[in-house]
Structure 1
Amino acid sequence: MIKQALISVYDKKYIVDFARFLSSKGIKLISTSGTAKLLRDNGLEITDVSAITGFREILGGRVKTLHPSILAGILARREDQLEELYSLGIEPIDIVVVNLYPFEGVVKRGAELEEALENIDIGGVTLIRASAKNFKDVVIITDPEDYGTVEKEIESTGDVSYEARKSLAIKAFAVTSRYDSIISNYLDGSRTPKYFLVGGERSLELRYGENPHQIASAYTTSGISVLSAKQIQGKELSYNNILDLDIAWSLSRSFEKPCVSVIKHNAPCGVAVAEDILSAFNNAWQADPVSAFGSILGINRELDEPLAKAIDPYFVECIICPGISEGAVEVLRHKKNLRILVHSNFYQLPEGLEIKGIQGGFLIQEWDTGDVKEFKVVTETPLEETLKDDLIFAYKVVKFVKSNAIVVAKDGKTLGIGGGQPNRVDSVRLAISHAGKDSSGAVLASDGFFPFPDSVEEAGKAGIKAIIQPGGSIRDKESIEMANKYRVAMVFTGMRHFRH
């Protein structure tokens, strides 16, 4: 039977209503200073923690709940330790409602060390861990969104089920684990700290992973992700859908102009920018209509009715966009399997670090958000002014293609994409073969330098007018000479864009 609850919260969302509910069930409420004042101001009868401990808050509130009278009331096993507890004049505490000082928010806004340290919660973490350890006898609530669940259980049975208690305890330990990881990473101060700790919350239980025999789930950490998007239509997302949506979103938001990216197997098969989003879609789709079958679309403008009508005849797995009109929803409603995701923070850049798993560990690195603002013409052949926009466009696209990566582009659209080849010249040949005769007068982007001049020779033979690449090969001079031979302008960026 639940008789007593301890409430000590920083985030006071919903707390007055929840405390009022507990009080209405005859549950005695104990609280700390700030929370107690709020609850009293709203007409609730509250017992101060100091009245239980016989010890006032000290050190400016640093020590409030760290006392045997509180911790024993939480940790006592009801089956065999109540007699000892009562002999000490201590009453058991059956519900603990705690959330923590906002350390993460404080350090994100650039607080100084002293302010950050003051926002490391000690008492709250102790209460959470003690309650979660004894979850069979104590209900621990760390999230205001869980108040309703507990209310329903108490309203229905007068108690909280074992399953709900255990679930809340699991969440509680995850909260303290993540909290400590943020503190550890902050105090280290390095972008790649010695002890890299990361916590995630499961957003989706997936049917399977990359293949049906693999178990998988999707997790969010902090910041905005593709999983933050709202799915408004279609069947559940798959593991592969999420990977492709992430690329589609990341690529299409890279451009200010209206852009559509067509993604298949975690790589672009068609990308285009244009003055309007409908033209961008048509150009991106026609870049490789065979590969586009069953693809994922990234659209960086509202999906309107004319665009929806253009998409409707084709088989598309998923769409991610910043908004969608009512007319577009009606046009695509009949496609029951088409997953449409609307992302309210479509243009926000990724936070934190990129994490890639390896057997027995993982790698971390900064996200590749680098864009080329300037480049150096290294050939005698001058660069035509009209080709600059296409060079920048192609170089933005190439960083989303698996290395060795090559993109052939013209007039703001990809004509051929070659990626994932062990040698660069094969990727060049693949991209040029996709582009066909349209290679003549186009530009070519490479994510890495050319180790030999053969790639430049292939480009020159195909009629490529300009090449953009990072440079840095010991044979750069040979590649430059080959470019001059074919009257191809070549520029160096000094920024590589490998993707593995």
Structure 2
Amino acid sequence: MTEAITPIRRALLSVSDKTGLEALARRLTDAGVELISTGGTAKRLRDAGFGVRDVSDLTAFPEMMDGRVKTLHPMVHGGLLAQRANPEHAAAMAEHGIAPIDLLVVNLYPFEATVGRGASYDECIENIDIGGPAMIRAAAKNHADVTVVVDTQDYDAVAAEIEETGGTRLETRKRLAAIAYGRTAAYDAAVSGWMADAVGDRTPRRRTFAGYLSQTLRYGENPHQSAAFYLDHSARPGVATAVQIQGKELSHNNINDTDAAYELVAEFDPAAAAACAIIKHANPCGVARGPSLADAYARAYDCDRVSAFGGIVALNRALDRETAEAITRIFTEVVIAPGADEAARAVFAAKPNLRLLLTDTLPDPEAARLALRQVSGGLLVQDQDTGRLDPASLKVVTRRQPSPAELDDLVFAWSVAKHVKSNAIVYAKGGATVGIGAGQMSRVDSTRIAARKSADMAEALGLAEPTVRGSVVASDAFFPFADGLIAAAEAGATAIIQPGGSMRDAEVIAAADARGLAMVFTGRRHFRH
């Protein structure tokens, strides 16, 4: 049985984003559709030579109050909401001279973009659309009779269906109505979230989060899980805003790991030193600073060459040829950097499956943002961990003070530990990680695992002793017992950075003093679950 077609004879067009407007209007006009429009959209269409009727002619009221009032009128909403087959609705339309509107094409004032560019409170308020969402919701509710289009990428398909059939199919209208309600929901979420922030409400009574589909993924963490990637309209540089220069389509795990890598490498100011972070399963397996990217990459790679295979590489400076050649010597899934020169791009072009992502800049590690996690029946929402260490705030708790070199490494190791799954232990020496223990149920186990990996790496490199000898160590939370500190000392660490705050701090400090270690407390932990 052929699906019934609802004819399109009259369309109302009112768009902020005028991409593709004239092309759509031409196809509608050629199909015999009457055009009604508002304000700037009507002017744009007239300037392009189209015959268009103003909404004010339809309503017999002029646009007023700086355009705030123009479509909120029964002549508009009656034309959208009337059920064509309902005799009472038909009688009301006839009595009041309301003509049906069969197609609504609306996109909304650019509220998200206005907020994103840091506009004033009053300007943001003026970019809250009222008439647009009202019309969209009306048309979507009445999708049995009305077609609603809110995204420019749907113009071609809708126009083609009208050209083919003279109208639209019910299945098309249902699909477009679902898209329309998703758009108004996302719009309201953006407005309510912004207003809550503006009045300083950190825990609003109702909170909604919205995203825009960027990519349907092949699968999720595992092949039996479906997945998709959504964007949230924020301008934060990273995997969501990067341009993919080459390589296979990003997977769910690629996106997650690349985000972790770029957020970590952003901790290190590119003006101070080049930095590289190599990530595997959202944990760093090597991080280093250096005078050049090539040096930083080599030192990060030497932390754990086994784990670096098939990893994600993030850089804090534009990629150069020497670094590109070093990276491509082993299998690497993704490289992300704030730029790449032509020579580096040419090196990567010889590895067509390697994904190269480029951004304009690094994310600000101190910029406030929210972190979300779904649990059964709800969402956990918290501020992202943007805490950074002021070396002047450190409290030395041992008899021995850290040397300047140790202090520099302690701050470096602490910055890395913030991005390691808890329980996190990071050994560092000379501005590079030399052992990382992540995600263990016991802190002492993380301490020993990191030291063992260092020993394995030293053996592979033909070194006389493990690289943790003479290193410093960072612990993302306090040592509940002295055993973890003792294990670090036995591995060869000379200085410790940790939050402090344990009931057994005195015992831990005594253990450090007994072994001639320097230890500093931060007063702040960095759990990462």
Q: TM-score scaled to structure 2, two decimals?
A: 0.87
1:201-212 to 2 correspondences below 5 Å: 201-212=212-223
Measured in 1, the distance between the counterparts of 2:320 and 2:145 equals 55
Question: Is residue 331 of structure 1 aligned with residue 341 of structure 2?
Answer: no
Measured in 1, the distance between the counterparts of 2:113 and 2:358 equals 26
Q: Which amino acid aligns with 1:432?
A: A
Q: Deviations over 1:144-175 (max 9, x none)?
A: 44444444444555545555544432221111
- 2:8·2:162 contact (CA, 8 Å) conserved in 1? no
Alpha-carbon distance change, 177 to 269 in structure 1, aligned in 2, over 3 angstroms: same
Instruction: Tell me the residue number matched to 1:438.
Output: 467
Q: Deviations over 1:291-321 (max 9, x none)?
A: 1122111122223222222122212122222
Measured in 2, the distance between the counterparts of 1:43 and 1:378 equals 79
SS state at 1:420 partner? coil
Measured in 2, the distance between the counterparts of 1:61 and 1:75 equals 23
Alpha-carbon distance change, 117 to 339 in structure 1, aligned in 2, over 3 angstroms: closer
Offset of residue 498 of structure 1 = 0.5
- 1:353·1:366 contact (CA, 8 Å) conserved in 2? yes
**In the alignment, which of 381, 385, 388 is matched to residue 364 of structure 1?**
381
Q: Which amino acid aligns with 2:81?
A: L
Question: Is residue 480 of structure 1 aligned with residue 480 of structure 2?
Answer: no
Question: Is residue 111 of structure 1 aligned with residue 120 of structure 2?
Answer: yes
- 1:57·1:63 contact (CA, 8 Å) conserved in 2? yes
**In the alignment, which of 400, 420, 426 is matched to residue 407 of structure 1?**
426
**In the alignment, which of 268, 280, 301 is matched to residue 264 of structure 1?**
280
Instruction: Tell me the residue number matched to 1:377.
Output: 396
Measured in 1, the distance between the counterparts of 2:445 and 2:399 equals 26
Offset of residue 441 of structure 1 = 1.4
SS state at 1:181 partner? helix
1:128-277 to 2 correspondences below 5 Å: 128-155=136-163, 158-160=166-168, 162-188=170-196, 189=199, 190-223=201-234, 224=236, 225-256=238-269, 257-277=273-293
Instruction: Tell me the residue number matched to 2:4.
Output: none
Offset of residue 184 of structure 1 = 2.7
Alpha-carbon distance change, 16 to 300 in structure 1, aligned in 2, over 3 angstroms: same
Q: Which amino acid aligns with 2:432?
A: K
Alpha-carbon distance change, 175 to 332 in structure 1, aligned in 2, over 3 angstroms: same
Offset of residue 355 of structure 1 = 0.3
SS state at 1:371 partner? coil
Question: Is residue 449 of structure 1 aligned with residue 478 of structure 2?
Answer: yes
Measured in 2, the distance between the counterparts of 1:218 and 1:175 equals 17
Identity percentage of aligned residues: 48
Measured in 1, the distance between the counterparts of 2:10 and 2:139 equals 13
Measured in 2, the distance between the counterparts of 1:212 and 1:14 equals 38
Measured in 2, the distance between the counterparts of 1:192 and 1:477 equals 38
Instruction: Tell me the residue number matched to 2:462.
Output: none
Moved more, 207-216 or 378-387: 207-216
Q: Deviations over 1:356-383 (max 9, x none)?
A: 1111111111111211022222221021
Offset of residue 203 of structure 1 = 1.8
- 1:448·1:470 contact (CA, 8 Å) conserved in 2? yes
Measured in 2, the distance between the counterparts of 1:164 and 1:351 equals 41
- 1:461·1:486 contact (CA, 8 Å) conserved in 2? no
Q: Deviations over 1:76-127 (max 9, x none)?
A: 3345568533454222212212222344455553634x66555432221110
What are the ranges of 5 or more consecutive residues in structure 1 without an aligned counterpart? none
- 1:185·1:195 contact (CA, 8 Å) conserved in 2? no
Instruction: Tell me the residue number matched to 2:463.
Output: none
Q: Which amino acid aligns with 1:251?
A: L
Q: Aligned-residue CA RMSD in angstroms?
A: 2.6
Offset of residue 221 of structure 1 = 1.6
Measured in 1, the distance between the counterparts of 2:35 and 2:475 equals 66
Measured in 2, the distance between the counterparts of 1:367 and 1:442 equals 29
Equivalent pairs counted in the alignment come to: 499
- 2:368·2:383 contact (CA, 8 Å) conserved in 1? no
- 2:220·2:251 contact (CA, 8 Å) conserved in 1? yes
Question: Is residue 121 of structure 1 aligned with residue 129 of structure 2?
Answer: yes
Measured in 2, the distance between the counterparts of 1:230 and 1:156 equals 37
**In the alignment, which of 322, 325, 335 is matched to residue 309 of structure 1?**
325
**In the alignment, which of 30, 34, 37 is matched to residue 31 of structure 1?**
37
Alpha-carbon distance change, 328 to 20 in structure 1, aligned in 2, over 3 angstroms: same
